[in-house]
Amino acid sequence: MNETDPEHSTPSPEGERRHPTVLQILPSLNGGGVERGTIEMASALKERGWTPIVASSGGIMTHELKRIGVRHITLPVASKNPFVMRRNISRIAAIIEEYDVDIVHARSRAPAWSAYFAAKRTGVHFVTTFHAAYNRGGYFKNAYNAIMAKGERVIAISDFIADHIRAHYDVAPERIVTIPRGVDCRKFNPAAIHAERIMDMSRSWGLPDGVPVIMLPGRLTRLKGHTTFIEALARIRDKEFLALLVGSTEGREAYCAELNKLVVSFGLEGRVQIKGHCDDMAVALMLSDVVVSATSVPEGFGRIAVEAQAMGRPVIATAHGGSMETILDGETGWLVPVGDVEAMADALAAAIDLSSDAREAVASRARQHVLAHFAIEHMCASTIALYEDVLGN
């Protein structure tokens, strides 16, 4: 068990009220919406005076926790090996006892199994967040998924996810709480981006001047719909554009090679580029003219589409899952049928052809929409209120 320990907690003086300690557990910190939300909640808890701890198998985002002074503990909680998961029960229980943890918040299935039994063993509260509509299968698959419904409170990140939980799991209605994911509108704010940051990234990526940039952010996995996106781009090849696939490629080298072959087969060499992980997505979105989410499976929330709207960028997304709640079709972007290459191509062409006035109108509507409904302050305040409710009970 390895620790990133910026500041070891010390006991409160006798008689002084101790602020609660929350242990969030997730598989890894290698980029993604779950990881980002975990870090944001840790930061909010620390600002509130609580003690946040994060446990994961590690990853490229652990430095962000260190930067804000939040302890990270490295455990093999990404493993689905039943023997490792069983050993993790004792490891997590030891953390709970050492750091006087009040609430264990599990954000994924494999670590949730270990966390649940560790919480029962030590008598602390257990909360879960459903970040996705997990695929249903046979008895064992469904039983594996059901651990996420064991929380004293089960957080759904959208109404779509809340409906999925009610349809497939035996959870009392009062235990399900919908808390939409939030976006940091101070960070994702066009007015907060200095020109130097934009120029630096533009140079490092070799972006040509005056060419519309179409961006599909997200991990390079087949579920993100890259092939549909590339096929749609081939249908508008007469237009000028540069398409960027931005997201972690770790362990996805074969898939990257497959995508590059597809690009070549459509004659889009140089016009579709894979850029890998990006540490400054606010600037990356600022460099784009349109942002695409082409997922082939419904996402629980679809964070990137909301971040893009916060940056005033029009969004094209497949019409299912959380996107149905976060994008105003025809106002802040376009919703297209899943796998419909023709509809995707039409939306891409429309986005590229937006006039300056129309683009400014979309930007204003999109940012106001996010500020009103998906600001990070709402997510963090609602989650802390849920923690307080659990502790009160």
Q: What is the reported pTM?
A: 0.85
> DSSP 3-state assignment of 104?
strand
pLDDT score, position 4: 61
**Per-residue confidence band for 138, with pLDDT thresholds at 50, 70 and 90:** confident
How confident is the model over 361-379, as pLDDT tens digits?
A: 999 999 999 999 999 999 9
Mean of per-residue pLDDT scores for the chain = 93
10 pLDDT more than 70: no
pLDDT at 15 over 50: no
Q: Is the separation of the CB atoms in 49 and 17 below 8 Å?
A: no
The predicted-structure confidence for 249-262, as pLDDT tens digits, reads as follows: 878 899 999 999 99
Q: What is the pLDDT of residue 7?
A: 47
Note whether 2-182+375-392 and 190-373 share their fold: yes
Is the model's pLDDT at 63 over the cut of 60? yes
Q: Under CATH, what is the fold of the domain 2-182+375-392?
A: Rossmann fold (3.40.50)
Average pLDDT over residues 11-33: 79
Mean pLDDT in residue range 61-77: 96
The burial of 242, by beta-carbon neighbours within 10 Å (0-12 exposed, 13-18 middle, 19 or more buried), is given as buried
Does residue 9 carry a pLDDT above 70?
Answer: no
Residue 182 has pLDDT above 80, yes or no: yes
Mean pLDDT (whole number) for 84-99: 98
Query: What class has domain 190-373?
Result: alpha beta
CB of 216 closer than 8 Å to CB of 344: no
| Section 332-360 average pLDDT | 96
pLDDT in tens, 252-306: 899 999 999 999 999 999 999 999 888 899 999 999 999 999 999 999 999 899 9
* Residue 309 scores a pLDDT above 70: yes
Q: Is the pLDDT of residue 11 over 60?
A: no
- Please report the pLDDT score of residue 135 as a whole number: 86
Domain boundaries, the chain: 2-182+375-392, 190-373
8 pLDDT above the threshold of 50: no
Instruction: Characterize 340-361 residue by residue with b for buried, 16 or more Cβ atoms within 10 angstroms of its Cβ, and e for exposed.
Output: ebebbbbbbeebbebeeeebee
The kind and range of the H/E element at 323 are helix 323-326
- Residue 188 is classified by DSSP as S
